[in-house]
């Protein structure tokens, strides 16, 4: 089988597209590295050298204080907020890591190779890695984690969505013969159908690698391969990581003795006050008008143009007083027609982003297909709602109580009312909202970027998936999505994506007003704190300048 696992033939074609000006360098790096080409080799295909990383010149030691929400932890495969992973990332590491430049870098995997039709993957495990209890990290650990990701019977296990090509539809477990331990450092995956998103799925934040003795609680069972250990953990207050001096870590970095995540709530005014009074050294995210205020404080600012977004989504199966109001596509389309994304971008996010098109595939995704923009037609929206017999119905629009999501939802509610659609607003504190985020009949939710558009659609809109908060179920959509997942060439995949995106718009699945530019401020003395497009904080890279 060795002949199957050479450098993927599509990589050179991608490089040629970059040279021809038809593909961005970022898109090329995401495509090529997900197929097993190293970043160095990928740059080589372009005929240029990989940019040298600036020397960190970090001092060893010290305590770094990070403003961040501190949430209750759970089994990582059920994580539904990046903040959870940013804490456990100190000791629970990943097979691969999504980089700011769009490439996917090896971590606990040293390398991987993919056959031409993306039906077999050969995973090469990094040698010499040990768990912090002294056990060796081997291919059996990789196979164990992939198998547990495949378990569809675990409530909230979104990793099963990413591993669909390995799952037996009848048993809800990894298919027999799908995961094969070849030797101590090699795993071969045999997929049931082609899937070009598998490695990118390994980089997503619920894909933290746990020990085979893991009991479901990352605080009670903190065996990991990373350089830190958990310290004090107080939900809604603070979470501490401490350097594990008794563990020889395989990587480079881990400069700090201690990292503290401090929770100041969701209101930016409280966070700015903490910055101004020198209670923190960096923030999770700077938002809205407070970006300029933080600029005036004099900290360094990092920006990332991203495919992060917010969606307003009706739940199509939600029952309210004996009715299922959002099962009717006319109701959903009417809601979308009444909202102007440019107004929501201005009032909700201070124009720090770009308009979206109600289908959750970004121009940053390599397979994005350009479609006509959504129609803003308040009169048509009212007429469509009347046609559906829902002109007198009062919609309850729910949001979290933070700055930008609340403001965006307020603006949407105002536009719906202007169109003659009855809307009430419910604003919930974070602790309440997060408990049931996928179950509300009509609410706003923010979504983090994924490297590929097909990943997003498979994760959030395929029938029956744990994160399918819209409860959208459409056989044509599912079949087209399966086709798209099998196409490695993004230009060919784009033809199918155009159909998928059009179905999303026509069915009124979501109102998606904008894509977000995201910002992070930190002290000039902090290194490794650059804003990541998926909000990841790579704790081993953090430190203070020497």
Predicted confidence (pLDDT) at residue 160 exceeds the cutoff of 80? yes
The alpha carbons of the chain give a radius of gyration, in whole angstroms, of 23
Kindly state the average pLDDT of the residues 121-125.
Answer: 97
Q: CA angle at residue 149 from 148 to 155, to 5 degrees?
A: 95
Band (4; pLDDT cuts 50, 70, 90): very low
Predicted confidence (pLDDT) at residue 430 exceeds the cutoff of 90? no
Band (362; pLDDT cuts 50, 70, 90): very high
| Coil vs helix vs strand at 90 | coil
Enumerate the CATH 3.90.76.10 domain ranges in the chain, comma separated: 2-52+94-202
Among 225, 351, 309, 304, residue whose Cα is nearest residue 529: 304
Predicted confidence (pLDDT) at residue 22 exceeds the cutoff of 70? no
Band (42; pLDDT cuts 50, 70, 90): confident
Report the pLDDT value the prediction gives residue 26, as an integer from 0 to 100. 66
Kindly state the average pLDDT of the residues 83-94.
Answer: 98
Fold of the 306-517 domain:
Dipeptide-binding Protein; domain 3 (3.10.105)
Percentage of the chain lying above the pLDDT 90 cut? 76
For 34-174, strand residue ranges (E) read 58-59, 63-67, 96-98, 104-106, 109-114, 120-125
Q: How far apart are CA 214 and CA 340, in angstroms?
A: 48
Predicted confidence (pLDDT) at residue 51 exceeds the cutoff of 70? no
Percentage of the chain lying above the pLDDT 70 cut? 94
**For the chain, what is the mean pLDDT?**
92
Band (3; pLDDT cuts 50, 70, 90): very low
Kindly state the average pLDDT of the residues 284-300.
Answer: 89
Q: CA angle at residue 93 from 533 to 212, to 5 degrees?
A: 140
| Of the options 3.40.50.700, 3.30.499.10, 2.60.120.1310, 3.90.76.10, the CATH number for the domain spanning 2-52+94-202 | 3.90.76.10
Q: Contact, 272 vs 279, CB < 8 A?
A: no
Kindly state the average pLDDT of the residues 85-97.
Answer: 98
Give first-to-last CA distance, the chain, whole Å: 50
More confident residue, 121 or 5: 121
Report the pLDDT value the prediction gives residue 105, as an integer from 0 to 100. 93
| Coil vs helix vs strand at 473 | coil
Among 534, 490, 518, 484, residue whose Cα is nearest residue 504: 484
- How does pLDDT run across 102-122, given as a tens digit for each residue? 889 999 999 999 998 889 999
Q: How far apart are CA 135 and CA 131, in angstroms?
A: 5
- How does pLDDT run across 232-287, given as a tens digit for each residue? 999 999 999 999 999 999 999 999 999 999 999 888 889 999 999 999 999 999 98
Band (1; pLDDT cuts 50, 70, 90): very low
Report the pLDDT value the prediction gives residue 9, as an integer from 0 to 100. 63
Kindly state the average pLDDT of the residues 199-223.
Answer: 96
Sign of the Cα torsion 195, 198, 199, 205 reads positive
Band (7; pLDDT cuts 50, 70, 90): low
- How does pLDDT run across 376-420, given as a tens digit for each residue? 999 999 999 999 999 999 999 999 988 899 999 999 999 999 999
- Model-level pTM? 0.82
Lowest-confidence range among 27-36, 340-349, 411-420, 522-531?
Answer: 27-36
Q: How far apart are CA 509 and CA 476, in angstroms?
A: 14
Q: What is the dihedral of CA 165, 168, 170, 173, to 10 degrees?
A: -120
């Amino acid at each position: 089988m060795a002949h199957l696992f050479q450098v993927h033939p599509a990589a050179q074609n991608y490089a040629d597209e970059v040279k021809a000006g038809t593909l961005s360098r970022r898109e090329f790096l995401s495509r090529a590295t997900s197929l097993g080409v190293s970043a160095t080799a990928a740059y080589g295909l372009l005929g240029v050298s990989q940019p040298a990383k600036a020397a960190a010149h970090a001092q060893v030691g010290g305590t770094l204080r990070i403003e961040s929400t501190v949430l209750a932890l759970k089994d990582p495969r059920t994580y539904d907020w990046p903040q959870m992973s940013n804490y456990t990332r100190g000791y629970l590491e990943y097979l691969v890591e999504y980089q700011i430049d769009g490439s996917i870098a090896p971590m606990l995997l040293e390398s991987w190779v993919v056959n031409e039709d993306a039906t077999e993957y050969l995973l090469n495990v990094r040698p010499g890695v040990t768990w912090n209890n002294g056990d060796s990290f081997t291919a059996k650990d990789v196979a164990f984690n992939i198998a547990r990701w495949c378990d569809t019977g675990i409530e909230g296990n979104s990793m099963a969505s990413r591993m669909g090509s390995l799952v037996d539809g009848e048993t809800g477990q990894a298919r027999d013969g799908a995961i094969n331990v070849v030797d101590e450092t090699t795993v071969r995956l045999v997929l049931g159908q082609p899937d070009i998103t598998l490695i990118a799925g390994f980089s997503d934040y619920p894909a933290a690698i746990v020990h085979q003795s893991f009991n479901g609680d990352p605080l009670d069972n903190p065996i990991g391969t990373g350089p830190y250990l958990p310290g004090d953990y107080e939900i809604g207050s603070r979470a501490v990581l401490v350097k594990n001096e008794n563990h020889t870590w395989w990587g480079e970095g881990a400069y700090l003795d201690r990292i503290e995540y401090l929770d100041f709530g969701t209101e930016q005014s409280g966070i700015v006050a903490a910055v101004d009074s020198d209670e923190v050294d960096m923030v999770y995210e700077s938002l809205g008008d407070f970006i300029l205020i933080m600029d005036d404080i004099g900290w360094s600012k990092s920006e990332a143009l991203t495919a992060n977004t917010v969606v307003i989504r009706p739940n199509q199966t939600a029952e309210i007083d004996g009715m299922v109001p959002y099962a009717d596509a006319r109701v959903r389309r009417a809601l979308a027609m009444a909202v102007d994304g440019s107004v929501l971008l201005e009032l909700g996010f201070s124009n720090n982003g770009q308009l979206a098109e109600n289908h959750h595939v970004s121009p940053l995704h390599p397979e994005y297909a350009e479609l006509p923009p959504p129609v803003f037609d308040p009169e048509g929206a009212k007429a469509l709602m009347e046609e559906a017999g829902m002109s007198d119905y009062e919609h309850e629009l729910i949001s979290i109580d933070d700055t930008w999501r609340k403001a965006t939802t307020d603006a949407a509610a105002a536009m719906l009312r202007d169109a003659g659609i009855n809307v009430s607003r419910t604003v919930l504190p974070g602790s309440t909202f997060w408990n049931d985020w996928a179950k509300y009949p009509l609410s706003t939710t923010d979504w983090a970027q994924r490297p590929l558009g097909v990943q997003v659609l498979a994760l959030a809109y395929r029938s029956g998936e744990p994160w399918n908060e819209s409860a959208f179920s459409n056989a044509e959509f599912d079949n087209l999505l399966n086709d798209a997942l099998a196409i490695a060439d993004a230009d060919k995949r784009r033809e199918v994506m155009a159909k998928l995106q059009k179905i999303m718009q026509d069915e009124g699945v979501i109102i998606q007003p904008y894509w977000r530019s995201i910002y992070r401020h930190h002290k000039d003395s902090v290194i490794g704190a650059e804003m990541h497009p998926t909000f990841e904080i790579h704790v081993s890279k953090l430190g203070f300048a020497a």
